[in-house]
Chains A and B, each alone.
Chain A
Amino acid sequence: MDATQLGLEQRVAEQHRHHGKAQFLWVWVALLIMTAIEVYLAYQNLEPVRMLSILMGLSILKAGLIIAYFMHMKFEMTQMRWLTMSSLVFCLAMMMVFLPDAFRILHIGVNLGVK
């Protein structure tokens, strides 16, 4: 194997050695608690938009914890963090540009071209 790659693998392995089990256990417990809150909210008959906002907020928080700790992104170099996460958020946000069209269909109905 190329020496650069080997050196990088050893450096990453060295980072992993310094992470205690307790840190990961706390993240796991936090994820389970947030899941329990989500399930509790599902039975509270909240208004849909409010419910969706809370659930999505919790999901983004959970995703952030998984990416940062379990996927080790918190400990990667700044370039890696910014390039991967900003491109992902940008592409997903671009998809959302089309969502208002769904509300348009809801309000005016589908025009099937039948006169």
Chain B
Amino acid sequence: MSEIVVQHPVGASVYEPSLFGTYSKKIGMWLFLLSDSLTFGALLFAYTYGRVSTPNWPTPFHSESIRNATIMTAFLLSSSLTMVFAVRAAVQGNAKAQRLWLLATMAFGLGFVILHGREWTNLIAEGLTLPMFPTPPGQGTGEFANVARDVPQFAATFFGLTGMHMVHVTLGVIYLGIIAFRKKFIPILLGLWLLAWLATPAYSPFHYGAHLILIAAIISAVILWLKPKVYDASDIEVAGLYWHFVDLVWMFIFPLVYLMSTKIIG
């Protein structure tokens, strides 16, 4: 029986061309984003369901909260613009501009997380909390203490939805940092973890949430150690898809959670 040896020219593909006309890691990221959008869809649905079925649903957001959330929205929209410019610089081979645009995107993302953290801290101080959160001093006396007691589904869906989004933004900033600086970003991450851990009081959920940065730093270090590579334009584009998705989800959280629960006085 004769053996048939199929030979391919050097560098030629042995696979059929992609049905979608794009590279596989981009299709992979799109599939992840589709599944992730169902996660957020379920959380947004839970919030909407709770709101519709609860007659005394609270509307706790004063103009200060709305102003804060509007600035956060502007930060995310601007970060998407700088991300697009980073992808553009990457395909043009302009490494310096690419890194600067990525840094700008990370700065906007970090600003969003800080403002969101401030918002959470204020709400918790006013008594809007979850049983799983550590007990802050003077709990049960703030403006929203009765909200947490009478309509517990508000705090559960609010913190669940916005917390999941905050985790996504934090991981997005870390993802972009790794893409931009690779191994050099690990010590920065560890520094950020220590800062977040030590600068927050023990009764703050962020005191424990800061450990997410440590876990991300360890996982990133293992990935960079197992597969060291220079990230190219396609990697930046795939990271950009993730970042834009995080922005896109906020475009629904902001009106549904904040603007529909505005406390209008007078």
Beta-carbon contact of B77 and A31 below 8 Å: yes
Partner of B22, one of A39, A48, A58, A80: A80
Q: Residue of A at shortest CB range from B73?
A: A35
Q: Is residue B5 within 8 Å, beta carbon to beta carbon, of the partner chain?
A: no
| B264 lies within 8 A of chain A by Cβ | yes
Contact check, B15 vs A24: say whether CB atoms are below 8 A apart.
no
B234 near A38 with CB under 8 A, answer no
Q: What is the CB-to-nearest-CB distance from B249 to chain A, in angstroms, rounded to a whole number? A: 9
Report whether B24 and A103 are in contact in the complex, using a CB–CB cutoff of 8 Å: no
Tally of contact residues, B, Cβ under 8 A: 64
CA distance A28 to B254 in the complex (A): 17
28 cross-chain CB contacts under 8 A? A4-B13, A5-B13, A16-B88, A19-B88, A24-B81, A25-B81, A28-B81, A35-B70, A35-B73, A35-B77, A39-B259, A42-B66, A52-B260, A55-B255, A55-B259, A59-B251, A63-B248, A63-B252, A70-B83, A77-B22, A79-B19, A79-B20, A84-B34, A92-B37, A95-B41, A102-B52, A103-B52, A105-B53
B138 lies within 8 A of chain A by Cβ? no
A sample of 18 more A-B contacts (CB under 8 A), given A2-B15, A9-B23, A12-B234, is A8-B21, A9-B234, A12-B22, A12-B237, A13-B234, A28-B78, A31-B77, A38-B254, A42-B260, A52-B260, A59-B252, A66-B251, A79-B21, A83-B20, A91-B41, A102-B53, A103-B52, A106-B53
Cβ of B84 < 8 Å from any Cβ of A? yes
Chain A interface main SS type: helix
**Interface 1/0s, chain A 36-65, versus B by CB < 8 A?**
001101110100100110011011001100
Q: Report which A residues bind B (CB closer than 8 A).
A: 2-5, 7-9, 11-13, 16-17, 19, 21, 24-25, 28, 31-32, 35, 38-39, 41-43, 45, 48, 51-52, 55-56, 58-59, 62-63, 66-67, 69-72, 76-77, 79-80, 83-84, 87-88, 91-92, 95-96, 98-99, 101-103, 105-106
Beta-carbon nearest neighbor of B234 in chain A:
A9
The answer to whether residues A17 and B91 also contact, given A4-B15, A66-B248, A102-B53 and a CB cut-off of 8 A, is yes
Q: Which residues of B are found within 8 Å of A62, using beta-carbon distances?
A: 251
The answer to whether B131 has its CB under 8 Å from any CB of chain A is no
Please measure, in the bound complex, the distance between the C-alpha atom of A95 and the C-alpha atom of B44, giving whole angstroms.
10
The reply to whether B85 and A24 contact each other, CB–CB distance below 8 Å, is yes
List chain A residues, Cβ under 8 A from B251.
Answer: 59, 62-63, 66
A46 to B247, CA, bound (A): 27
Cα distance A109–B163 in the bound complex, in angstroms: 30
- Residues of A with C-beta under 8 A to B203: none
B80: A residues at CB distance < 8 A: 28, 66, 70
Cβ–Cβ contact B81 & A42, under 8 A: no
List residues of chain A with CB within 8 A of the CB of B26. 12
A80 touches B21 (CB 8 A): yes
Are A66 and B244 CB-contacts (below 8 A) given A13-B91, A77-B20, A77-B21? yes
